[in-house]
Amino acid sequence: MSSIMNQWTDELRYAPYSSWTSAHLENLTSIIAQSSWRFKYHIQPQTGLLNDPNGFSYFNNQWHLFIKR
C-alpha cells in the first residue's frame, strides 16, 4: 500500500474512473480487502459509502438489505 501512497499525485487523484486499467482496479481491490480498517462483520460496500441502510428484511428464504440511493 505504501508504494501507491508514495506515487499519489493530483493527476492520479482526479483521474476519471473510466481511465483506470483493470490491473489497477484489481490491485486496489486487493489492497482494500487486506486493510486492517476493513470491517470483518458489519455490512460495508467494497469502497465508498453505503448511504442510509434501512435494515434487513427476510423474504422468500433470503435476507435482503435495502439502502437509499
Catalytic sites, residue numbers: 52
Overall residue count recorded for the chain in this entry: 69
Pairwise CA distance, residues 40 & 20, whole Å = 27
Pairwise CA distance, residues 44 & 38, whole Å = 9
Which grid cell sits at 63?
435476507
